[in-house]
Amino acid sequence: MLRDTIFDIVARSVAALRENGDLPDVALPAFEIERPQIASHGDYATNVAMKLASAAKAAGEKSNPRAIAEIIATRIRETVAVVPAYDLVETVEVAGPGFINLRLRPAWLLAQTGRVIDEGNSFGSVHVGRGKKINLEFVSANPTGPVTVGNGRGAFIGDTLAAVMRAAGYDVTKEYYFNDAGGQIDKLGRSMEYYLRLALGEADPSKPDEGYFGPYYETVAERMIASGAKKLLKLPEQKRASAIGEATAAAIMDDIRQTMAKMRVEFDVFFNQASLGPSGELQASIDELRAAGYIEEYEGAQWAKTNLFGDDKDREGNERGRVIVRSNGEPTYFASDVAYMRNKFLRGFDRLIMILGPDHHGYIGRLKAVAQMLGHAADDMHILIYQNVTIKGQRMGKRLGNIITLDEIYEEVGPDVTRFFYLMRSSDTHLDFDLDLARKQTDENPGLSVQYAHARASGVFRKAHEQGITESDYATADVTALAGDPPEQLDRELAMIRQLLRLEEVVERAALLLEPHHLTRYGMDLADAFHQFYDHCPILKQGADIPLDVRNARLRLLRAAQAGLARTLTLLGMTAPDRMERAETVERVEA
RNA sequence: GUGCCCGUAGCUCAGUGGAUAGAGCGCUGGCCUGCGGAGCCAGAGAUCGGAGGUUCGAGUCCUCUCGGGCACGCCA
């Protein structure tokens, strides 16, 4: 990656100076290579001189950060002058309190066009993941209702995070855990029994006091009756609730899978909680914890000593951990958690990541404790909590009874815009979905703007084709010739190639920090750079009188931009259209 | 009571301990008949909730505090 090369240049120069005793004789502190916020400061900056000065001062030596920076800068200039692989650096300057700013050579930047085009679908990939096996579990909504705008957030975060992590070199398995066991299924069954009887025209069927209610369940009841659920009502009372519950859960699971498929969220594994009992894994994990000495009995129940690993350390009056087997002999939901995690680790994953809603933050301590009881590091179990979702301008929430499903959003704006909007915000932040903005079929819609950039690029190639210009005409064009363009054009061309090259850094950062939202920001930046290029650097424009070599070089650059946009959109799970559907626009009023 | 997340422009939000805090929308003014105008250019708009602290440097880290959201079962 480009930044790694810059790091090497700086590190090598500093190391050489230290060998000669030209720098303060203190341990070299960690330093950063960063992109300055202000373009006039160059492409990269390092704070190594300030860090060194600071360390020297702490060791009692007197030091001047700017003077140190000058020494290092001089050495860097010498280094890049003699090492051919480092010929990408044009200038090295000391600025401010002691920053060393490096600027890249325009011709080198332009030449990167070839690499972007050659790498194509794999452009932006990095290797920080080193093939580490990751289990990424997300959504895992209970099969007791449709996916909502709230719990659907995990779907987009998870799906795109997986794509980004794969691009960063991780081996990712995407997994959905269906909580299809326990009391909630019976409760679902009792609720559905009411809806089935209602749908069959029974007069005044009894409605349970507590359960799952709403118009959605009426539609599920209709479908279940159509597929023969009527006979379930004839089952004896003890079996009826669980039988209806299981059938209902299966029907709802189908809905959830369909919603996911429509939104292009894919899973490698669907795991059913109910399978853990019959497979013997539930018992095996309890036995394993007992053998390790982590289970104690109290008042007839079996307690797992999660408190030994920090779980519930602040919970009042409870130093016993969590109940894993009730006094009536039934394992708790927590037992399933243990068995499921054990199952994942046995499948050979190096790290487990779970994406959960804000109501699950209590899980963090509990599950990290489980990981440790199973003999793994606390950090091998990572939980990513995302915050709530609201629809702008609407009050919502279960208590108000106006749950909005993800399907409704799909109907309104489709998968592309939905995905983009969900991924614009950090998981840590509450998401206020601006449905009005999402509905707009104009460039005001930031998601469409990225797609439009891609479509525009495709449009130019379409036009080129119509004019008889073929790929072979510009495939070997010398893009560095653009270095001779006037600033108005060259600045835009360089800005776009700079944005393109940034993708690798964005992918690495998003993967390491588990923050896929950086990709949408990047998409907007790249699209913006593209539109600037498009507006200022004509290629086929009539009457613009573009020399052939410039035209062909710009077509190359455009090809690279198209590839970068396509790659970004793909990582976001969006389509990269070759043309945009023209929306019905208001006729312009002639003055 | 305890814990987690948030507080940055009118709105919704980015922001890697660095230099002059950014984007989208909205607002104001101007340009434009095309590589599909779903356009371009410019501008106004911010005591980064508040108070201390850490350091060469804090929107960012620490402590306290105020405001908003969420959760704390032998439920799942």
Taking the stretch 415-444 of protein chain A, residues with Cβ within 7 Å of any atom in nucleic acid chain B are 424-426, 428-432, 434, 437, 441-444
Please name every residue paired with A177 in a beta bridge, in sequence order, or none if there are none: A271
For A382-411, how does the pLDDT look when each residue is reduced to its tens digit (9 = 90+)? 999 999 998 887 654 443 456 789 999 999
Provide the CA A37 to C1' B21 distance, Å, integer: 10
pLDDT exceeds 60 at position A588: no
A369 touches strand B (CB under 7 A): no
For A178-215, how does the pLDDT look when each residue is reduced to its tens digit (9 = 90+)? 988 888 899 999 999 999 999 999 999 999 988 899 89
Q: Residues A242-257: what's their mean pLDDT? A: 95
| C-alpha to C-alpha distances, A348 to A133, A285, A292, A396, nearest whole angstrom | 7, 16, 21, 42
- The verdict on A160 and A216 lying in the same domain is no
Tokens found for residue A199 = 């749908």
pLDDT exceeds 50 at position A296: yes
For residue A403, what pLDDT is reported? 78
Nucleotide with smallest C1' distance to residue A445 CA: B24
- The verdict on A455 and A579 lying in the same domain is yes
The residue type found at A181 is A
- The verdict on A164 and A298 lying in the same domain is yes
For residue A590, what pLDDT is reported? 31
Instruction: Indicate which CATH number applies to the domain containing A489.
Output: 1.10.730.10
Provide the CA A492 to C1' B28 distance, Å, integer: 27
Provide the CA A328 to C1' B72 distance, Å, integer: 25
Nucleotide B15's nearest residue (CA vs C1') is: A37
Asked, for residue A375, whether it belongs to a domain, the answer is yes
- The verdict on A164 and A311 lying in the same domain is yes
For A565-582, how does the pLDDT look when each residue is reduced to its tens digit (9 = 90+)? 999 999 999 999 998 876
For residue A399, what pLDDT is reported? 38
Q: Residues A437-463: what's their mean pLDDT? A: 89
Q: Annotate A330-359 with b (16+ C-beta within 10 A) or e (fewer).
A: ebbebbbbbbbbbbbbeeebebbbbbbbee
Nucleotide B39's nearest residue (CA vs C1') is: A535
Asked, for residue A226, whether it belongs to a domain, the answer is yes
Nucleotide with smallest C1' distance to residue A359 CA: B71
**CA-CA distance, A378 to A238, in Å (whole number)?**
42
Instruction: Indicate which CATH number applies to the domain containing A82.
Output: 3.30.1360.70
- The verdict on A581 and A468 lying in the same domain is yes
- The verdict on A48 and A93 lying in the same domain is yes
Asked, for residue A392, whether it belongs to a domain, the answer is no
Element (H, E) at A295: strand A295-298
More confidently predicted of A586 and A137: A137
A298 touches strand B (CB under 7 A): yes
Asked, for residue A412, whether it belongs to a domain, the answer is no
- Pick the range with the lowest mean pLDDT from A220-224, A238-242, A440-444: A440-444
Reduced to 3 states (helix: H, G, I; strand: E, B; else coil), residue A145 is coil
Provide the CA A516 to C1' B54 distance, Å, integer: 32
Provide the CA A368 to C1' B70 distance, Å, integer: 20
Strand ordering across the sheet containing A133-137: A269-272, A171-178, A133-137, A351-356, A381-385
Residue A394 neighbours by CB distance under 10 Å: 12
The residue type found at A61 is E
Beta strands in A122-212 (DSSP E): 133-137, 171-178
pLDDT exceeds 70 at position A93: yes
For A511-551, how does the pLDDT look when each residue is reduced to its tens digit (9 = 90+)? 999 999 999 999 999 999 999 999 999 999 877 788 999 99
A498 touches strand B (CB under 7 A): no
Nucleotide B14's nearest residue (CA vs C1') is: A521
- The verdict on A472 and A577 lying in the same domain is yes
Burial class of residue A242, CB neighbours in 10 A (0-12, 13-18, 19+): middle
Tokens found for residue A224 = 């279940």
- The verdict on A570 and A494 lying in the same domain is yes
Of A209, A226, A258, the residue at which a domain comes to its end is A258
Nucleotide with smallest C1' distance to residue A443 CA: B38
**CA-CA distance, A153 to A406, in Å (whole number)?**
9
Residue in the structure block whose two tokens are 């030091």: A63
Nucleotide with smallest C1' distance to residue A543 CA: B35
- The verdict on A299 and A381 lying in the same domain is yes
CA-wise closest residue to A390 among A379, A374, A402: A402
A70 touches strand B (CB under 7 A): no
DSSP string, A115-149: HHHHHGGGTT---TTTT-EEEEE-----TTS--BT
Q: Is residue A43 a contact partner of residue A88, using CB atoms and an 8 Å limit?
A: no
**CA-CA distance, A487 to A583, in Å (whole number)?**
36
DSSP string, A389-454: EEETT----GGGT---BHHHHHHHHHHHHHHHHHTSS-TTS-EEE-HHHHH--STTSHHHHHHHHH
Nucleotide B5's nearest residue (CA vs C1') is: A428
For residue A34, what pLDDT is reported? 93
- The per-residue pLDDT of chain A, averaged, comes to 91
ipTM rounded to 2 decimals: 0.93
Nucleotide B40's nearest residue (CA vs C1') is: A535
Beta strands at A322-325 and A301-304: parallel, antiparallel or unpaired: antiparallel
For A359-390, how does the pLDDT look when each residue is reduced to its tens digit (9 = 90+)? 888 889 899 999 999 999 999 999 999 999 98
A183 touches strand B (CB under 7 A): yes
Taking the stretch 103-142 of protein chain A, residues with Cβ within 7 Å of any atom in nucleic acid chain B are 142
Contacts of A447 (CB under 8 A, 6+ apart): A416, A417, A419, A420, A421, A438, A520, A574
Taking the stretch 309-338 of protein chain A, residues with Cβ within 7 Å of any atom in nucleic acid chain B are 314-316, 322-323, 326-328, 330, 332-334
Domain count of chain A? Answer: 4
Asked, for residue A120, whether it belongs to a domain, the answer is no
- The verdict on A248 and A358 lying in the same domain is no
| C-alpha to C-alpha distances, A280 to A97, A139, A339, nearest whole angstrom | 65, 26, 9
Tokens found for residue A582 = 């023209």
**Nucleotides in B strand less than 7 A from protein CB:** 1-7, 12-16, 18-26, 34-41, 55-57, 68-76
Asked, for residue A157, whether it belongs to a domain, the answer is yes
pLDDT exceeds 50 at position A584: no
Please name every residue paired with A89 in a beta bridge, in sequence order, or none if there are none: A104
Reduced to 3 states (helix: H, G, I; strand: E, B; else coil), residue A69 is helix
**CA-CA distance, A239 to A232, in Å (whole number)?**
9
For A224-244, how does the pLDDT look when each residue is reduced to its tens digit (9 = 90+)? 999 999 999 999 998 999 999
Element (H, E) at A343: helix A333-346
A162 touches strand B (CB under 7 A): no
Of A369, A385, A401, the residue at which a domain comes to its end is A385
Containing structural domain, residue A147: 133-177+270-385
A29 touches strand B (CB under 7 A): no
Reduced to 3 states (helix: H, G, I; strand: E, B; else coil), residue A258 is helix
Tokens found for residue A200 = 């069959």
For residue A315, what pLDDT is reported? 60
The residue type found at A589 is V
For residue A544, what pLDDT is reported? 75
Name the band, by pLDDT with cuts 50, 70 and 90, for residue A447.
confident
Q: What ranges in A168-227 are assigned the alpha helix state H?
A: 183-199, 215-226
Provide the CA A587 to C1' B31 distance, Å, integer: 20
A464 touches strand B (CB under 7 A): no
Specify the DSSP class assigned to residue A148.
Answer: B
Asked, for residue A411, whether it belongs to a domain, the answer is no
Q: Residues A445-451: what's their mean pLDDT? A: 89
Element (H, E) at A51: helix A48-58
Reduced to 3 states (helix: H, G, I; strand: E, B; else coil), residue A459 is helix
For residue A392, what pLDDT is reported? 82
CA-wise closest residue to A256 among A161, A159, A157, A141: A141
A272 touches strand B (CB under 7 A): no
Helices A406-422 and A153-167, packing angle to 10 deg: 40
- The verdict on A562 and A477 lying in the same domain is yes
- The verdict on A56 and A146 lying in the same domain is no
**CA-CA distance, A155 to A510, in Å (whole number)?**
17
Tokens found for residue A97 = 């309190």
Of A85, A104, A123, the residue at which a domain comes to its end is A104
Residue A274 neighbours by CB distance under 10 Å: 16
Tokens found for residue A247 = 């059938």
Instruction: Indicate which CATH number applies to the domain containing A143.
Output: 3.40.50.620
Specify the DSSP class assigned to residue A331.
Answer: B
**CA-CA distance, A159 to A148, in Å (whole number)?**
16
pLDDT exceeds 60 at position A585: no
DSSP string, A472-519: HHHTT--GGGGGGS-HHHHHHHHHHHHHHHHHHHHHHHHHHHT-TTHH
For residue A402, what pLDDT is reported? 63
Tokens found for residue A557 = 């650059």
For residue A200, what pLDDT is reported? 95
For residue A400, what pLDDT is reported? 41
Beta strands at A301-304 and A295-298: parallel, antiparallel or unpaired: antiparallel
